[in-house]
Amino acid sequence: MLQIQNLKTEESLLLATTVVSLISIPSIYYFFNNKKNGKAKAAVKQEKEFPKPTIVPVSDDFDWEKQTPYPYRPYKKGPYKMNLAIRKLDPNDIICIEDTYLDRVTLREKLFDEKKLSGFHESALDSLKETYRFIFNHLLQRYPKYFTYSNDKKTIINKIKESSVPANPSDLSGNELLRIIASNIEEDMLLLIKNNDEGEPDEYVLRASTSLFPAGFNPAQKMNLPLTKIHTPVPHYVEKLQTSMNKFFSRIKPYEFIIRNNWSIQTHTNLCAPTGSHATKEEATTIHPLYPQDLDFNKVFFRVEKQCFTRLPETGSDLMFIRTYVTSLMDLRGSLTEEEKEILCSAIDGIMGDFAIYKKRIQWGEAAKAFIMGESNGSNPVKTKYTFVS
Ligand code: HEM
């Protein structure tokens, strides 16, 4: 009796297992196949949306010494609004060679050796090598007049600098990679990698940078920090930018190219400015507005950053380039129509509240407006060209 019962139990178990298998094998197959198909479909969709771009070489008559810097003028009439303000970027323009190139890369090499502003985390080594290949492939394709392989293909020759760099970055150390990147393009480079550490914010973290032209912060102190912590001194960052910024860095795709600008005015003559561009609320109590007659407006600069973003296709890291443009207010005033001057003055007035302190508008705002509107010519009315040495 017991045996018969056992037999029945075994039979029913077998039957049940067979039924379950018959139902689940196709479902498992369907599940995995569908997942695979899903991934493949997503890849095809992404490739359609963001195909690998073809970089177009500059024309034969291109002469880097005749390329005046692109005149970004991102200010708008009325109150300053802090938002992403991102636009699509033509991939040809992610790294540009303009007439400032040789002076700037020479200065960058000196700054790299003298100041400890660049750095990397070990986890960024592969991303740094991919960045190196990205940069030099771009230079070879976009500027074949100035960047070519040597006969044995082992080095890439930079004809403007009259120097060469290894074609293959595989055996280079992190510091060698940073130094070569820093001293062959005018752009600062920043690499961000998603934070996977438990207990840490679910944000992208700065893991490598060659920030040699910082405006008001010490890049070494930003290394290994997530985006929100990097932006701690920026007023209203958490309410106004945090969510959209984190989404942006999570969603940007390989071969998607994005640009944004920010701008300010500086009364010092440093491209490399870890201090001097920003103020805190405590410092604001001792800041006095500057008088226009005390300022040489050949040495007061409208400073714009061209910030470009993409995702590296192999390592998946986010890559950012920052190209800093500086135009003396003397030159800027000479290039603007009366209407454009009014817009700039309105934009200066539009930097209000905590931002007026952070961007030091409380110090330079009135003097800059007086000069722009021609109410003052400053301490030196004669136009001169300032050469940056730091
Ligand atoms: C869509 C991307 C980004 C937006 C919208 C953004 C926005 C801003 C804004 C509005 C400021 C205030 C500066 C000013 O206007 O003068 C700022 C400052 C700054 N940003 Fe970003 N940012 C972005 C990406 C990044 C990334 C990727 C990094 C570095 C990994 C970075 C590093 C900094 C630093 C170091 C400062 C100065 C902070 C200080 O004063 O210490 N930003 N950013």
Per the CB < 8 A criterion, the answer to whether 72 and 324 are in contact is no
User: What per-residue confidence (pLDDT) applies to 33?
Assistant: 57
Q: Is 190 close to ligand 1, i.e. is its CB under 6 Å away?
A: yes
User: What per-residue confidence (pLDDT) applies to 39?
Assistant: 63
Ligand 1 center from residue 177 Cα (angstroms): 24
Probe residue for ligand 1, chosen from 203, 234, 257 as the CB with the greatest number of ligand atoms within 8 Å: 234
Instruction: Report the distance separating Cα 97 and Cα 64, nearest Å.
Output: 6
User: What per-residue confidence (pLDDT) applies to 236?
Assistant: 97
The residue contributing the CA closest to ligand 1 atom 20 is 231
Ligand 1 center from residue 241 Cα (angstroms): 10
Q: Is 84 close to ligand 1, i.e. is its CB under 6 Å away?
A: yes
Q: How far apart are the first and last CA of the chain?
A: 97
The residue contributing the CA closest to ligand 1 atom 23 is 245
Ligand 1 center from residue 89 Cα (angstroms): 19
Q: Is 242 close to ligand 1, i.e. is its CB under 6 Å away?
A: no
Q: Is 234 close to ligand 1, i.e. is its CB under 6 Å away?
A: yes
In degrees and rounded to multiples of 5, residue 196 shows phi and psi of: -105, 0
- Low pLDDT (below 50) residues in the chain: 1-23, 25-26, 28, 30-31
| High-pLDDT (> 70) share of the chain, % | 88
Instruction: Report the distance separating Cα 359 and Cα 364, nearest Å.
Output: 9
Ligand 1 center from residue 44 Cα (angstroms): 33
Residue 304: strand, helix, or coil? strand
User: What per-residue confidence (pLDDT) applies to 35?
Assistant: 56
User: What per-residue confidence (pLDDT) applies to 274?
Assistant: 96
User: What per-residue confidence (pLDDT) applies to 10?
Assistant: 46
Probe residue for ligand 1, chosen from 231, 265, 304, 359 as the CB with the greatest number of ligand atoms within 8 Å: 231
User: What per-residue confidence (pLDDT) applies to 199?
Assistant: 72
Collect all residues with Cβ–Cβ distance below 8 Å to 375 and sequence separation of at least 6.
292
Pick the closest to residue 125 from 167, 185, 176 (CA basis): 176
Sign of CA dihedral 219, 220, 221, 224: positive
Collect all residues with Cβ–Cβ distance below 8 Å to 300 and sequence separation of at least 6.
265, 266, 267, 328, 329, 364, 368, 371, 378
51 exposure class (CB count in 10 Å sphere: 0-12, 13-18, 19+): exposed
The residue contributing the CA closest to ligand 1 atom 16 is 359
Pick the closest to residue 388 from 108, 128, 64, 116 (CA basis): 108
The residue contributing the CA closest to ligand 1 atom 26 is 227
List the structure tokens of 28.
């498992």
pLDDT digits (tens, 9 = 90+) for 62-118: 999 999 999 999 999 999 999 999 999 999 999 999 999 999 999 999 999 999 999
Ligand 1 center from residue 370 Cα (angstroms): 29
User: What per-residue confidence (pLDDT) applies to 115?
Assistant: 96
User: What per-residue confidence (pLDDT) applies to 340?
Assistant: 98
Q: Where are the alpha helices (DSSP H) in 95-218?
A: 101-114, 125-142, 174-182
User: What per-residue confidence (pLDDT) applies to 36?
Assistant: 58
In angstroms, what is the C-alpha Rg of the chain? Answer: 27
pLDDT digits (tens, 9 = 90+) for 111-139: 999 999 999 999 999 999 999 999 999 99
In Å, what is the CA distance from 244 to each residue of 65, 238, 239, 257, 351?
A: 39, 10, 10, 17, 22
Q: Is 218 close to ligand 1, i.e. is its CB under 6 Å away?
A: no
Q: Is 216 close to ligand 1, i.e. is its CB under 6 Å away?
A: yes
